[in-house]
Structure 1
Amino acid sequence: MPQRLLLAAAALVLPLAGLLFAQWPLRDWLQAYSRQANDLGQVLFALYIAVAVTAASEAGAHLAAARQRLSPRAAAIAVLACTGPWALYLLVITAQPVWQSLRTLEKFPETLDPGYFLVRIALWLLAALVLLQALRRAMRHG
């Protein structure tokens, strides 16, 4: 996985934490903007998780049980067999809704704030990264 993508995703943690922390004071004291903070927090969280799952796998912290009990080749094939069909299914089944969301720049339903399309894109990014990583690992060890 490109190092720049990992660094960009890691940089989302601090603003995400700030937004989560700010929701209560915004709602209770200012009585405004807490929903907008929540919407932006959802976007940042979705993008962060889309990259974090693959980064954890790259670091050996995710799906570690398969690696400990199996040879590297068997573990790579097992990971591809487990995650590949799910990721491919997700990419296919969500392609049209994600494309539609992107074309219309879909908004959050409750607040009508822009950005919900980014949550949908993050789902697609997650599935694509998982599939690409599993394929790359299987080819490397296969």
Structure 2
Amino acid sequence: MRLPAQAAMRAMRPALDVLLSRALMLGGVLVIPVSLLLCLQWPLRDWLHHWSREANDLAQWLFALYVAMAITAATRARSHLASHLLAHRYRSRTRHALERAAAALVLLPFSLFLIWAGAPAAWQSVLQREGFPDTYNPGYFMIRVAGLLLAVLVALQALLDLLPADDA
């Protein structure tokens, strides 16, 4: 017999999985404008003598958002750098238990701490529309938001890894 809380957690898992999948899919689109802006900096600087710094600043905050999402996407795909030297020798069940322990003891607590510690500074930066220190162009606040987004996505993925699966 399942407890109501356990049933609620099982019901929450697919919705959280879809939410993360869609958010990360949207983040993957950012690689094109980042690449384009980085490639355009030099022609803008050398030929037009304008807007290269603006292109660089925009590329920086788009790249920060992209990386915040890409790290979680790599974790979901199990394609991030991992120590397989020893782990590949473990049984699948042992590896799964280690992943759940890491989510519970490392990823979730530290990401929640980063959210708690970083949210006030990010919010203040957004309110001030903080600019880049060297150009004073607006948008630096987006880098702070991207750091916060990374912590939120890691926390959600860790929570997803801890929620019971349908087959569990």
Q: TM-score range by the shorter chain?
A: 0.7 to 0.9
Deviation at 1:64, TM superposition (A): 4.3
Structure 1: which 4+ aligned runs deviate by more than 3 Å?
Answer: 63-70
TM-score (norm 2): 0.75
Change (3 A) 1:35 1:77: same
Is the 8 Å Cα contact of residues 103 and 159 (structure 2) preserved in structure 1? no
Q: Residue in 1 aligned with 2:41?
A: 23
Question: Which residues of structure 2 form unaligned runs of 5+?
Answer: 1-16
Deviation at 1:62, TM superposition (A): 2.1
Q: Residue in 2 aligned with 1:127?
A: 151
Is the 8 Å Cα contact of residues 57 and 63 (structure 1) preserved in structure 2? no
TM-score (norm 1): 0.87
**Percent identity (aligned):** 44
Q: Residue in 2 aligned with 1:96?
A: 120
Is the 8 Å Cα contact of residues 23 and 37 (structure 1) preserved in structure 2? yes
Counterparts of residues 1-142 of structure 1 (less than 5 Å): 1=17, 2=19, 3-62=21-80, 64-65=82-83, 68=88, 69=90, 70-140=94-164
**Root mean square deviation of aligned Cα:** 2.1
Larger Rg: 2
Distance 2:72 2:160 in 1: 12
What whole-Å deviation, never above 9, does each CA across 1:67-121 have from its counterpart, x for those lacking one? 6444312222124323233312211221211110111221222222221111111
Distance 1:65 1:139 in 2: 24
